[in-house]
Each structure stands twice: as structure tokens, then as C-alpha cells.
């Protein structure tokens, strides 16, 4: 992606065919980041079994890049352990998409944050149930 380029084929593909779109009925962790005032809001839900993310779903209010980065984020963590999911960075998301225009890099950061928020939510709920 050149500095002046716009969306790659990969971004368009994820925008048109988002992976893991929707909601889980019995999520173990939910991460919601961003807000509509800024034009981007993401929700990632995870279902965890034996420390591994068994299922994941997302919803996004935002531009094409916001939709694509959340979609990629869910692909990156599905089937991974909680620890592995926390290793995922916005760089990984960007690499899969073949880059983003500079003004859209924040979407990949938000997607990374959504993963962490979902995991943190899962962990805090685990903590509660242990008590």
C-alpha cells in the first residue's frame, strides 16, 4: 500500500465478506471499544473452552477499514489460547490486510484494543466465578 493508495483488495474482501460477523448467545468475554462520535465502535465476543478461544463474533459501527480490521482480528484469535490472542497486535492485522491508508491505521489499533478488552472481560468474569 503506497502512502497515497486507498484500500487494498483484502480490505474490500473483508468489508464485503466479513468473517465471524454476529453475536454469541453465551459469550464468556465481551470487548466494546471506541464510540460512535468518533465514527468507530467495535464489539468482539469470545467463547472460551479450556483456555482456548473456541468461537468469536464481532459487530462494528464504522468505515470499511473498521469493519475489515475487526473481521481480521476475529480470524486471528479464533482457535488461539488466551495468551496467544493477547500477542496479536495491530501490525498483524495490517499485514494481513496488506496495509491501510495512514488515516485508517487507528482502526487496526482499535481492533487490537477490542481483542484485549474481550480477554480482560473474560478474565475478570473468571476471577469473579473463582471467588
Partner 1 sequence: MRRIYMDHNATTPLREEVLEAMLPYLREEFGNASSLHHFGIQARRAVERARETVATALGAKPREIVLTGCGTESDNQAIKGVACANRHKGDHIITSRVEHKAVLQTCEYLEKHGFRVTYLPVDAYGVVNPDDVAQAITEQTILVSVMFANNEVGTIQPIAEIARVCRERGVPFHTDAVQAVGKLPVDVKALGIDLLSLSAHKFYGPKGVGALYVRQGVRVDPLLHGGHQERGRRAATENVAGIVGAAKALELRLDEMAAEAERLMALRERLHEGIIAKIDHVYLNGHPTQRLPGTLSLSFDFIEGEAIIMGLDLAGVAVSSGSACTSASLEPSHVLLAMGVHPGVAQGSIRFSLGRGNTEQDVDVVLEVLPGIVERLRAMSMFSPENPYPEEMSRGQKHWRGEEVA
Mind telling me the catalytic residues? 38, 107
What is d(CA 8, CA 99) in angstroms, rounded to the nearest whole number? 7
Range 68-127, binding partner 1 (CB under 8 A) = 103, 106, 109-110, 113
Closest distance between partner 1 and the C-beta of residue 5, in Å?
14
Choice from 21, 24, 89, 116 touching partner 1 (CB under 8 A): 21
* Candidate ranges 63-71, 82-90, 91-99, 123-131; the one touching partner 1 (CB under 8 A): 63-71
Q: Which residues contact 112 (CB under 8 A, 6 or more apart)?
A: 73, 88, 89, 90, 93
Cβ atoms of residues 4 and 87 within 8 Å:
no
Amino acid at each position: 500500500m503506497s502512502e497515497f493508495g486507498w484500500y487494498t483488495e483484502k480490505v474490500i474482501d473483508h468489508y464485503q465478506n466479513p468473517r465471524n460477523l454476529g453475536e454469541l448467545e453465551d459469550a464468556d468475554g465481551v470487548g466494546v471499544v471506541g464510540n460512535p462520535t468518533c465514527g468507530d465502535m467495535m464489539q468482539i465476543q469470545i467463547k472460551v473452552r479450556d483456555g482456548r478461544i473456541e468461537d468469536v463474533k464481532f459487530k462494528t459501527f464504522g468505515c470499511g477499514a473498521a469493519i475489515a480490521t475487526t473481521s481480521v482480528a476475529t480470524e486471528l484469535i479464533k482457535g488461539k489460547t488466551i495468551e496467544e490472542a493477547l500477542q496479536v497486535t495491530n501490525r498483524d492485522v495490517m499485514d494481513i490486510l496488506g496495509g491501510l491508508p495512514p488515516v485508517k491505521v487507528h482502526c487496526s489499533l482499535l481492533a487490537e484494543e477490542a481483542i484485549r478488552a474481550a480477554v480482560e472481560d473474560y478474565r475478570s468474569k473468571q476471577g469473579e466465578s473463582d471467588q
